[in-house]
């Protein structure tokens, strides 16, 4: 039987996350579903798994040039709930929601519960994530498996477990057999492994074998046995061949990724939160010695993903990586969110440190905490504002440059209006997410209120004594 502490841990503590997930679901279902050539192509592939047993595309005259798992997962959902694109989008949205939960678990594991809850809210309400989770695309499935692979991989590293490494490897095989972008998750996983400084050669080899065998085995079965192609053909894609057509008159800009992050993916407030979080972590390493390495790993993971896309799009002038940053750098989003959300843990640490700090440093710490709170709140508000604006548009275009009419586009056949019931549902979702976030931090809010009351009381007493 669980004692009171055990009951609180397993039954009460997850409740704010459940509230946040309900709120994100309400917001998500008020958007889209979004459509374009890619969504119709992937729907055709998944439909033909139901009809023919393979992800065949008529215009290709062959199976789709993507790994197969995402389409087979969709086909199972279609067999149960009916074959339609909207049904498939519902499954994609569910993958988006469980991805929010995994981001929470990663934030909690790496920084603490407060970061986990803020990361879940920031990621869940991010318009980039919401649009892709409301489109029939395999990117959201791939991201879910990638994040779950990273989470279980971190557990395997910390526990020195070969069994958990095997589980992580199985999940990675699911991710890479959904979309080859999953390979990016190996960057932070490798860095966490190096940071753990493994010393037993036998354990290193055992964990490595357990992790790699599932991917090699399932990849061999699909590519070499079913398709009769080399296993490395999973990385062969027309996206990595076609250059920007000269007829478009588009000159590749090296700033197309930063333009996307600033104008569409994150927004200025989230970018500012990421930057301020890094500045705090590195300038006050004394207070964040345990987490500064986590910041470095998240930064390295995000920077690597963004840099690869810049090389593909601006360096090699490949067409699809250039105008599809929304998909090509999607794997960087969770790491940028975790960096921004770590302001929560850093703010709490500085708030505690201010108690025993000298007066000049005390004021500096309180100012840093205030800035962290403002940036976190502004990031949430800007995400909600952008999401609301997107939901009212029937056409989205993610331009590579503000003045260049070139970029990934999506249609929304049913945009909502101010008078629409879905608008009410959306605002209710915003309120529910914020309520869950406040609930998760109620103990901290009580502590801050008590500190403010004590400070006010002591100041009044000093004035009386004067």
For 309-360, how does the pLDDT look when each residue is reduced to its tens digit (9 = 90+)?
Answer: 999 999 999 999 999 999 999 999 999 999 999 999 998 888 888 777 777 7
Distance set, CA 388 to CA 21, 80, 117, 125, 330 (Å): 18, 32, 22, 10, 21
Question: Which residues contact residue 188 at a Cβ distance below 8 angstroms, ignoring those fewer than 6 apart?
Answer: 150, 297, 298, 300, 301, 335
Q: Is residue 294 part of a domain?
A: yes
Q: Which phi and psi angles does 397 have, rounded to 5°?
A: -135, 125
End-to-end CA distance of the chain: 58
The per-residue pLDDT for range 159-184, each reduced to its tens digit, is: 999 999 999 999 999 999 999 999 99
Q: How far apart are CA 351 and CA 304, in angstroms?
A: 33
Q: Is residue 290 part of a domain?
A: yes
Q: Is residue 5 part of a domain?
A: no
Q: Is residue 452 part of a domain?
A: no
| Residue 12: per-residue pLDDT | 67
Query: Tokens 């249609």 label which residue?
Result: 411
Question: Which residues contact residue 364 at a Cβ distance below 8 angstroms, ignoring those fewer than 6 apart?
Answer: none
Taking the CA atoms of residue 16, residue 20, residue 23 and residue 24 in that order, the dihedral angle to the nearest 10 degrees is: -160
CB atoms within 10 A of CB 122: 30
Question: Which residues contact residue 21 at a Cβ distance below 8 angstroms, ignoring those fewer than 6 apart?
Answer: 97, 100, 101, 120, 124
Q: How far apart are CA 32 and CA 426, in angstroms?
A: 12
Structure tokens at 33: 């579903």
11 pLDDT higher than 70: no
Q: Is residue 93 part of a domain?
A: yes
| Residue 3: per-residue pLDDT | 52
Q: Is residue 227 part of a domain?
A: yes
| Residue 2: per-residue pLDDT | 47
The per-residue pLDDT for range 199-219, each reduced to its tens digit, is: 888 999 999 999 999 999 998
| DSSP letter, residue 299 | H
Least confident span in 184-188, 232-236, 392-396: 232-236
The per-residue pLDDT for range 275-284, each reduced to its tens digit, is: 999 999 998 8
Q: Which phi and psi angles does 286 have, rounded to 5°?
A: -60, -35
CA 382 to mean position of chain CA atoms: 17
Q: Which phi and psi angles does 161 have, rounded to 5°?
A: -105, 130
8 pLDDT higher than 80: no
Across residues 67-90, what is the average pLDDT? 94
Taking the CA atoms of residue 197, residue 203, residue 205 and residue 211 in that order, the dihedral angle to the nearest 10 degrees is: -90
Q: Is residue 457 part of a domain?
A: no
Question: Which residues contact residue 324 at a Cβ distance below 8 angstroms, ignoring those fewer than 6 apart?
Answer: 239, 408
CB 103 within 8 A of CB 119: yes
Q: Which residues pair with 34 in a beta bridge?
A: 135
User: What is the span of the domain harbouring residue 177?
Assistant: 20-441
Q: Is residue 453 part of a domain?
A: no
Query: In the chain, what are the helix, strand and coil shares in percent, each to the nearest 5?
Result: 75, 5, 20
- Counted domains in the chain: 1
- Name the average pLDDT for the chain: 90
Give the model's confidence band at 456: pLDDT under 50 very low, under 70 low, under 90 confident, else very high.
Answer: low
5 pLDDT higher than 90: no
Q: How far apart are CA 456 and CA 452, in angstroms?
A: 6
Q: Residue 401: enclosing H or E segment and its boundaries? A: strand 395-401
Q: Residue 192: enclosing H or E segment and its boundaries? A: helix 186-195
Distance set, CA 77 to CA 50, 82, 129, 330 (Å): 10, 8, 22, 24
Across residues 226-252, what is the average pLDDT? 81
Q: How far apart are CA 269 and CA 262, in angstroms?
A: 9
Structure tokens at 310: 């810049």
4 pLDDT higher than 70: no
| DSSP letter, residue 66 | S
| Residue 217: per-residue pLDDT | 93
Three-state DSSP at 244 gives coil
Across residues 130-155, what is the average pLDDT? 97
């Amino acid at each position: 039987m669980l004692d009171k502490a055990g009951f609180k841990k397993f039954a009460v503590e997850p409740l704010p996350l459940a509230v946040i997930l309900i709120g994100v679901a309400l917001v998500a279902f008020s958007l889209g579903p979004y459509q374009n050539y890619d969504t119709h192509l992937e729907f055709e592939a998944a439909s033909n798994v139901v009809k023919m047993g393979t992800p065949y595309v008529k215009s290709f005259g062959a199976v789709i040039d993507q790994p197969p798992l995402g389409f087979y997962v969709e086909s199972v959902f279609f067999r149960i709930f009916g074959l339609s694109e909207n049904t498939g989008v519902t499954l994609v949205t569910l993958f988006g929601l469980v991805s929010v939960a995994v981001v929470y678990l990663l934030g909690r594991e790496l920084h603490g519960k407060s970061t986990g809850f803020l990361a879940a809210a920031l990621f869940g309400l991010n318009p980039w994530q919401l649009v892709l989770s409301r489109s029939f695309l395999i990117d959201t499935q791939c991201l879910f498996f990638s994040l779950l692979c990273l989470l279980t991989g971190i557990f395997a590293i910390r526990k020195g477990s070969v069994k958990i490494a095997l589980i992580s490897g199985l999940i990675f095989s699911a991710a890479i057999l959904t979309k080859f972008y999953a390979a990016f998750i190996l960057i932070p996983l490798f860095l966490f492994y190096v940071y753990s400084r493994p010393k037993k050669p036998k354990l290193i080899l055992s964990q490595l074998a357990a992790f790699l065998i599932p991917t090699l085995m399932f990849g061999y079965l699909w590519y070499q046995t079913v398709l009769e192609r080399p296993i490395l053909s999973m990385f062969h894609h027309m996206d990595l061949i076609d250059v920007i057509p000269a007829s478009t008159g588009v000159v590749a800009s090296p700033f197309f990724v930063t333009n996307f992050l600033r104008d569409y993916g994150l927004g200025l407030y989230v970018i500012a939160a990421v930057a301020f979080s890094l500045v705090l972590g590195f300038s006050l390493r004394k207070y964040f010695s345990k987490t500064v390495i986590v910041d470095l790993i998240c930064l390295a993971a995000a920077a690597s993903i963004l840099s690869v896309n810049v090389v593909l799009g601006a360096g090699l002038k490949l067409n699809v990586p250039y105008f599809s940053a929304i998909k090509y750098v999607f794997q960087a989003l969770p790491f940028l969110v975790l960096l921004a959300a770590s302001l929560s843990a850093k703010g709490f640490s500085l708030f505690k440190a201010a108690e025993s700090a000298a007066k000049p440093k005390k004021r500096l710490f309180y100012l840093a905490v205030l800035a962290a709170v403002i940036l976190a709140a502004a990031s949430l508000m800007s995400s909600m504002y952008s999401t609301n604006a997107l939901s009212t548009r029937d056409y989205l275009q993610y331009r590579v440059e503000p003045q260049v009419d070139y970029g990934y586009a999506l249609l929304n056949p049913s945009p909502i209006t101010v008078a629409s019931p879905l608008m009410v549902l959306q605002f209710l979702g915003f309120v529910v997410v914020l309520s869950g976030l406040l609930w998760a931090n109620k103990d901290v809010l009580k502590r801050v209120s008590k500190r403010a009351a004590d400070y006010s009381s002591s100041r009044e007493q000093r004035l009386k004594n004067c």
